[in-house]
Amino acid sequence: MFDFDMLGLNKVLRNALKAGGFDKPTPIQNQAIPLALEGHDILGLAQTGTGKTLAFGLPLIAHLMEDETRPQTRTARALILAPTRELVNQIADSLRHFTMNTPIKIATVVGGQSINRQIGTLARGVDILVATPGRLIDLMDRRAVDLRQARHLVLDEADQMLDLGFIHALRKIAPALGTPRQTMLFSATMPKQMEELSRAYLTNPRRVQVSPPGKAADKITQSIRYMEKGEKPKVLREILSRDPEALTLVFARTKHGAEKLMKGLVDDGFNAASIHGNKSQGQRDRAINGFRDGKINILVATDVAARGIDIPGVAYVINYELPDTPDNYVHRIGRTARAGREGEAIAFCCAEEVDLLVQIEKLMKVEIPVASGTRPKAVKMEKPQRGGGRGRGPGQGQGQGKGSGKGPGKPAHGRPFADAKPQGRGPRRRRAA
């Protein structure tokens, strides 16, 4: 199929696609939309930036428009779950373009925002609810939302939800939805636990896959630069100075490291901001909006942004520190070369990160071209201290509660770092994902 007119979408959605400049479906849309319109459960495998949102969003809206049932108070007709606040907001913004001329209402619930305001929104009923699992559980516990009318469930970036410890939340949320229902699960990778999840929640799913897991977009030019750890600040500033107006996304491993790096860049005259789990929702939104509008041209981030930023104009992604999880490297560099554009991904690698680089190249089945330096002998990274509430998940510097330093990517109590509130020494706060 060569255009959206041939996918079976209704006239309202076809007109909205044309008005938005969407001429041809991407491969994942081409495969998934006809099957989803027929009512099949979908298991989709595709990297970020391949058009997954419309692959599940357009048929979902089409089904709701056909039904014409209006949501009752405190109910939702469809539920979309995503792992981070940024991704939730991105999905909702993308879908609102296609519901502007329809009665369909879209609402979001995420941590870091007023739960009372969200309760008020849900009290009126919504058609599509886009949520992070943690905050949705809070609202379910308060009986602020009833999911029994929901006949559509979408799990987006499901592998990241599992990485962040959301499996227990999914086991509580999914049975609360009505049946029969259509379930669509989209993931960039397919670990064993993902296969188990698909068997548990999908019925005779149709599998669609557009690129092998671990493969980067073709238009991304990758390079690796070997250096001593202490040389990284100088090399970063040299690269940023070569193209000072370009939108550049710089990834650090921890929240503390990202904030320190950003402040150092600002002190040196660079127009930079940061986004990580210790930032409030308002701060994160302002940073992303400023980056999207070009008011800020350097955004320093942890892996909280590895899948939650969809900005076509990002020219460079710099891995100032390599991620602890090789999959996250693919997601990070996928922030550039979006919407058919070209982009460049530059990775810094010191002796302590050589083992991480080996894992990344093994996953991608390629050897990243060397731009400078020589690969040093691998040196084991310093292990994070156990206990005391400070762990090192990928891109996240702090755990929650006592004894949360349990190694990469395993937040305490199943709590995702990417969606956690900053923790201080004050009274214990209610969980808000």
SS3 149: coil
pLDDT (tens digit, 9 = 90+) per residue, 325-338? 888 898 888 888 66
The distance of Cα 47 from the centroid of its chain, to the nearest Å, equals 11
Whether residue 49 has pLDDT greater than 80: no
Is 164:193 a contact under the CB 8 Å cutoff? no
- Structure-token match 């969606």, residue found: 419
79 torsion bin: left (phi>0), alpha (psi -120 to 50), beta (else) = beta
What gap in Å lies between CA 217 and CA 249, rounded to an integer?
A: 17
Residue 128's DSSP bridge partners are 78, 106
pLDDT (tens digit, 9 = 90+) per residue, 389-426? 433 333 333 333 334 343 434 333 333 333 333 334 34
- Across 364-386, average pLDDT: 80
H or E stretch covering 221: strand 220-226
Is 379:228 a contact under the CB 8 Å cutoff? no
Answer yes or no: same fold for 4-209 and 220-271+283-372.
yes
The residue type found at 315 is A
Is 236:318 a contact under the CB 8 Å cutoff? yes
What's the topology of domain 220-271+283-372?
A: Rossmann fold (3.40.50)
Residue 80's DSSP bridge partners are 130, 154
pLDDT (tens digit, 9 = 90+) per residue, 261-305? 999 999 999 999 999 888 887 888 899 889 988 999 999 999 876
What gap in Å lies between CA 121 and CA 98, rounded to an integer?
A: 20
Contacts of 253 (CB under 8 A, 6+ apart): 302, 321, 322, 323, 324, 392, 394, 395
Backbone torsions φ then ψ of 45, nearest 5 degrees: -115, 115
Whether residue 322 has pLDDT greater than 60: yes
Is 258:306 a contact under the CB 8 Å cutoff? no
Token pair of 287 as six digits: 């940073």
Per-residue pLDDT, 123: 97
What gap in Å lies between CA 155 and CA 43, rounded to an integer?
A: 10
298-301 vs 247-251, strand pairing mode: parallel
Whether residue 9 has pLDDT greater than 90: yes
In residues, how long is the chain? 433
State the Cα torsion 299-315-32-416 to the nearest 10°. -20
SS3 244: coil
CATH number among 3.40.50.1820, 3.30.360.10, 3.40.50.300, 3.60.21.10, domain 4-209? 3.40.50.300
Backbone torsions φ then ψ of 349, nearest 5 degrees: -145, 120
- Across 25-52, average pLDDT: 90
What gap in Å lies between CA 305 and CA 255, rounded to an integer?
A: 12
Backbone torsions φ then ψ of 325, nearest 5 degrees: -110, 125
Is 287:275 a contact under the CB 8 Å cutoff? yes
Min mean pLDDT across 129-133, 134-138, 307-311 is at 307-311
Give the residue extent of every domain in the chain. Answer: 4-209, 220-271+283-372, 383-423
**Percent of the residues in the chain that have a pLDDT greater than 70, as a whole number:** 82
Per-residue pLDDT, 219: 76
Top-confidence residue, 160 or 226: 226
What gap in Å lies between CA 330 and CA 324, rounded to an integer?
A: 12
